[in-house]
Each structure stands twice: as C-alpha cells, then as structure tokens.
C-alpha cells in the first residue's frame, strides 16, 4: 500500500504540472504558516499597536511593509495564513466526517424509514441559504467567536452537499456483488463500511475535503469583511477587513492589500489545483486515455 501511494504521487508529479505547482506552493505556505510564524514577535501576534514605524512600504527589515498601527505586516500575514488554513482544515475534517456518516447511513438504509428520514434532513440542509444564516449565527455568537467556533459554524452547512453525493455513491455500491456478499456473510454495518465502502470512496472524500477547505477559507473572508469575526485575530479575512477599514488604498499604502490578496490567491489556487489534479487522475476515462497513450509510446 505504501509503494502504491508513492507511485501514485510520483505519477501525479510527472503527469500533472498543476499538481506539482500546487503542492510546492502549499508546502511553502504550510512552512510559513505553521513553522515560521512561531518566531513572530509578541507585538505582531494580534491586530493592535506595534513598535515598528507606521505605514512604511516594503524594505529589507519589513519585507511586506508595516501597518498604520506600526506592526510588521509580514508576521501578521504568516499568522493569518496559519489561522485561515487551520480553520479550513478543521471545517473540512468536521464536515467530511458528518457527510460520510450521514451519507452512508442514508444510502445503506435507503429503502427504510431511517434512510428516508436522513435523506429528508440532508435535503433540508442543502436548500437552507447558508450565508444569511452564517452571518446571523456569527453575530449571535460574536462574544465567543474564534477559529474553532467559526469552523463549527461553517461545518453546520458544509456537510450537506457532500453527504448527498455520498448517499448516491453508496446506493450504487449497494448493488455490487462484493457488497451483497458482505451483507449475506453477516458482517455488521460498520465493518462493511470500513472493509468495502471506505476504500472505494476514500479518494472522493479527499477531493471533497480539499474543496471544503477552500470553501471554508472563502466563507471566513466573507464573514470577516462583514465584521462578524474575531477582529483581533489575524486571518486572511480580518487582514482584508482592516486594510479596507484603514483606507490603505486611498492613502497609497498598496502593500497591505496587495500582499494579502497575493497570499490568498496562492493559497486557494494551490488547493484547487491539487484537488482538480487528483480528481482528473482518478477519473477512469482519463486513466484509460493515459494508458492508451503510454501503450502507443511503448510500441513506437
């Protein structure tokens, strides 16, 4: 299994330039966020007053310039990347866990009362308008808002559509011979899931997880721009909010918004490219096309 995993990663790196680009950018951002940010000075851990010169453009000592309150923007953005990625990973993990359980049970027992009830719950969450409800919840819980709380709020709505797709996949798998064999052999529901369903849907779950990470980061930016986040904690969203609130572009302080947007685009683009490359690699049609091309090259 380990050799197969390494082979798949090698094939992805060789065949898909987008995957290679995405992985490199993602690894760099992970290092900056979860490694380098640990060395940030105490004055730059939260939005507030710093001891650096006010509003100076990028220099050797301040690569990303400073804020209007005299904070080193480089360290603030490294912490912002860390918090935003942590929020995305938490939301993705919680949402995928809920979607997997709900979707599996709804598909496994699709012909019974339990399946109908779970399907009704899934459909209800699919049609709820997410953004207005998220803003209301964020406003109601504003005194308790932090990265974990935002992840929990986003997870309330992040699981519904993946769960719907999971249900359809499980319903298709129910008709397979190996699933019927496990059922008639007396394996319980969860053992059947672990041994028969999970290996089949695991790559799909990975793709959905990456998509949810991107969605969560984007939703946090939206919540922060409306001022519903914890505005003292550096995230991508709060960085954009404070840059806009301090009218940095009107004052000619281009570096604050520019570097924030560049890091945001690189982060979301790298996750998207990795996700799409994996999805294309696992697609049976594209895999068949690659095999045919490799066979032609070998014959020539």
pLDDT recorded at residue 8: 67
pLDDT tens per residue across span 92-141:
999 999 999 999 999 988 888 888 999 999 999 988 888 888 888 888 88
pLDDT recorded at residue 10: 72
Under CATH, to which class is 2-299 assigned?
mainly alpha
- State the average pLDDT for the chain: 87
- How many Cβ atoms from other residues are within 10 Å of residue 99's Cβ? 26
Q: Residue 163: enclosing H or E segment and its boundaries?
A: helix 160-173
Residue with token string 């996949």: 169
Query: Burial level of 261, CB count in 10 A (0-12/13-18/19+)?
Result: middle
Q: Which DSSP string do the residues of 112-133 spell out, in sequence order?
A: SHHHHHHHHHHHHHHHS-HHHH
pLDDT tens per residue across span 228-246:
888 889 999 999 999 999 9
- How many Cβ atoms from other residues are within 10 Å of residue 129's Cβ? 8
Q: What's the 3-state SS for 44-100?
A: HCCCCCCCCCCCCCCCCCCCCCECCCCCEHHHHHHHHHHHHHHHHHHHHHHHHHHHH
Q: How far apart are CA 227 and CA 240, in angstroms?
A: 11
pLDDT recorded at residue 67: 92
pLDDT tens per residue across span 44-56:
888 888 888 899 9
Ramachandran assignment for 65, one of left (phi > 0), alpha (psi -120 to 50 degrees), beta (any other): left
pLDDT recorded at residue 122: 93
Question: Would you kindly state where each structural domain of the chain is located, as residue ranges?
Answer: 2-299
pLDDT tens per residue across span 247-298:
898 889 999 999 999 999 999 999 999 998 888 877 766 666 666 665 555 5
> 72 - beta bridge partners?
66
Q: How far apart are CA 48 and CA 75, in angstroms?
A: 13
More confident residue, 177 or 23: 23
Decide: pTM greater than 0.75. Answer: yes
Q: How far apart are CA 71 and CA 48, in angstroms?
A: 8
- Candidates 37, 43, 40, 42; CA nearest to 70 is 43
């Amino acid at each position: 299994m380990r050799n197969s995993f390494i082979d798949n990663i090698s094939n992805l790196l060789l065949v898909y330039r987008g995957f290679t680009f995405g992985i490199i950018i993602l690894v760099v951002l992970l290092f900056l966020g979860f490694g380098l940010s640990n060395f940030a000075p105490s004055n730059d851990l939260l939005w507030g007053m710093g001891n650096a010169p006010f509003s100076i453009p990028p220099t050797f000592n301040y690569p990303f310039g400073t804020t209007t309150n005299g904070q080193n923007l480089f360290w603030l953005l490294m912490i912002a990347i860390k918090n935003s990625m942590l929020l995305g990973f938490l939301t993705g993990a919680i949402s995928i866990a809920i979607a997997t359980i709900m979707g599996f049970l709804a598909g496994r027992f699709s012909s019974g009362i339990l399946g109908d009830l779970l399907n009704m719950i899934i459909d209800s969450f699919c049609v709820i308008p997410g953004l207005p409800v998220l803003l209301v919840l964020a406003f109601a819980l504003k005194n308790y808002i932090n990265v974990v709380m935002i992840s929990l709020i986003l997870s309330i709505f992040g699981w519904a559509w993946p769960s719907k797709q999971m249900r359809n996949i499980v319903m298709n798998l129910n008709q397979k011979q190996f699933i019927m064999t496990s059922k008639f052999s007396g394996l319980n529901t969860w053992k059947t899931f672990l041994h028969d369903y999970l290996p089949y849907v695991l790559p799909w779950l990975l793709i959905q997880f990456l998509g949810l990470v991107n969605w969560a980061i984007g939703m946090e930016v939206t919540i922060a721009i409306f001022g519903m986040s914890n505005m003292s904690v550096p995230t991508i969203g709060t960085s954009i909010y404070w840059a806009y609130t301090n009218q940095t572009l009107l004052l000619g302080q281009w570096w604050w918004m520019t570097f924030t947007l560049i890091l945001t685009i690189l982060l979301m683009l790298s996750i998207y490219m990795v996700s799409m490359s994996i999805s294309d690699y696992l697609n049976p049609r594209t895999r068949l096309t690659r095999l045919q091309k490799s066979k032609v090259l070998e014959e020539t």
